[in-house]
Copies of this chain bind each other. A is one copy, B any other.
């Protein structure tokens, strides 16, 4: 498969794509990004790399980080984790309280905000320095010690985080948050502020395409069965209330963030990251989804 040729075709076709998406503005820091940024990086299990555009520029990965915290927590806990959250698509917006209230403070899955807050709660319970552990994990799978939180983004999240505070307080009222709410929110906001490029993301996500092992050394980072389950969760829950659309159009497990990034993996074949900050109305990168749809259409291969 000539991925370089395919990526170039996509780049050409989409150069005139009418993009009426809107960048995220709910925190000031995110609204400062150049809306025309666009980059892709694809990393094959064979070791080859293919890319174009702004693929080396870091951006705020936001909810993509939830895959990392889920992986960390799944390494710590066994099935006990699933007493505190479910594995079902929510059918609702990522920050909805409605379902959480009806279901007694049990989040539908780890990728909606409430689920990620429970993951943060577990990290606070299990680690003395949970933020350091997150960094350590990401730096390890990316083989890159320079990856870091963006302080300005984290602060900006904190100042506008009332909806997340509402979710955490609601869950605490049901007993599904054990620690101080401020400490949970602190981890959550820092984790979301991680700044990474498409190149770095596709390298980090190789572990999910490669049965849980680092490509370079073969070291197992996540158990293969757990990797399959994380991928299944990305497939059914990785795109908020647009997970079905992504499965339908693209056909790969993936995860998006409101910073405009999307990562996807084709198990045993490749991991890919795309970045374009303008979001569709459901909060996913409009050009990013289009790019990945063309990728699986042109290769003729999805997991389905």
> Chain B contacts of A224 at CB under 8 A?
300
Segment 218-252 of A: residues with Cβ below 8 Å from B: 224-225, 227-229, 231-233, 235-237, 241-245, 247-248, 251
Known A-B contacts A98-B98, A98-B101, A169-B169; A244 and B304 likewise in contact (beta carbons under 8 Å): no
Whether A233 pairs with B244 at a CB distance below 8 angstroms is yes
Number of A residues, CB within 8 Å of B: 50
- Let me know if A257 is at the binding interface, CB within 8 A: no
Copies per complex?
4
Pick the residue among B98, B170, B235, B302 that contacts A304 (CB under 8 A): B235
Q: Does A135 contact B (CB under 8 A)?
A: no
Q: Say if the beta carbon of A155 comes within 8 Å of chain B.
A: no
State the Cβ distance, A47 to closest chain B Cβ, in Å: 22
CB pair B97 A97 closer than 8 Å: yes
A88, A98, A165, A224: residue with the most chain B Cβ atoms closer than 10 Å: A88
CB pair A235–B253 under 8 Å, yes or no, is no
List the B side residues contacting A302 at CB < 8 Å.
228, 232
* Residues on the B chain within 8 Å of A66, using CB: none
Q: Which residues of B contact A43 (CB under 8 A)?
A: none
Checking B99, B166, B169, B253 against A91 with a beta-carbon cut-off of 8 angstroms, the contacting residue is B99
A284 adjacent to chain B (CB < 8 Å): no
Option from B96, B245, B247 in Cβ contact (under 8 Å) with A101: B96
Additional A-B contacts beyond A98-B101, A228-B251 (14; CB < 8 A):
A87-B247, A96-B101, A97-B97, A97-B98, A97-B170, A98-B98, A98-B102, A109-B244, A166-B169, A169-B169, A232-B247, A232-B304, A235-B247, A237-B244
- Can you name 18 A-B residue pairings with CB atoms under 8 Å? A89-B244, A98-B98, A98-B101, A166-B169, A166-B170, A166-B173, A227-B304, A228-B304, A232-B244, A232-B247, A233-B247, A235-B235, A235-B247, A236-B243, A236-B247, A237-B244, A253-B304, A267-B304
